[in-house]
Amino acid sequence: MSCELCATIGGQLLWEDSRCRIVLIQEPGYSGYCRVIWKAHTAEMTDLADADRVHCMRVVFVVEAVLRELLAPDKVNLASLGNFTPHVHWHVIPRFHDDPHFPQPIWGARQRNGQITGTADLPDRIARELASRLDV
């Protein structure tokens, strides 16, 4: 069985180091939706060494902080599912009261039509902020 997250970048690359990468997901109605993807094919967080778990979660928390500062969402959802793709990755999803699924999870029943939101320079702004905090 092939793994999509091993075979592809998984979105628009915003930042990476030797252990993980951050990508932007192009999903209408979900400006700033990012994934933190562990590069090695590992199914569960507890399969990672302690230092790797700490690193992964630090990256997730930095992504959340950057998105909160740049987008001021009503809520941020953090999710690590992997039911279809058993490869460690975290979804970091800024949520707004008028997004297509709020208050449901984005994988739930659509509540309203989604709009493409955000500005054309948002990926660059996110990438700059991530680099300034993670490249230390």
What single string gives the DSSP state of each residue in 2-36?
Answer: --HHHHS--SEEEEE-SSEEEEE---TT-TT-EEE
pLDDT digits (tens, 9 = 90+) for 67-119: 999 999 999 999 998 788 899 999 999 999 999 999 999 988 888 886 666 77
* Extended beta strands in 18-120, E state: 20-24, 34-38, 75-79, 89-95
**Amino acid 85: pLDDT:** 87
Q: How much of the chain is helix, strand and coil, in % rounded to 5?
A: 30, 20, 50
Q: How far apart are CA 41 and CA 110, in angstroms?
A: 32
Question: Under a CB-based contact definition with an 8 Å cutoff, are residues 27 and 33 in contact?
Answer: yes
Residues of the chain with pLDDT > 70, as a percent, come to 96
**Amino acid 83: pLDDT:** 81
Q: Which CATH number is associated with domain 4-134?
A: 3.30.428.10
Specify the amino acid at residue 115. Answer: Q
Ordered by start, the domain boundaries in the chain are 4-134
pTM recorded for the entire structure: 0.93
Residues of the chain with pLDDT > 90, as a percent, come to 77
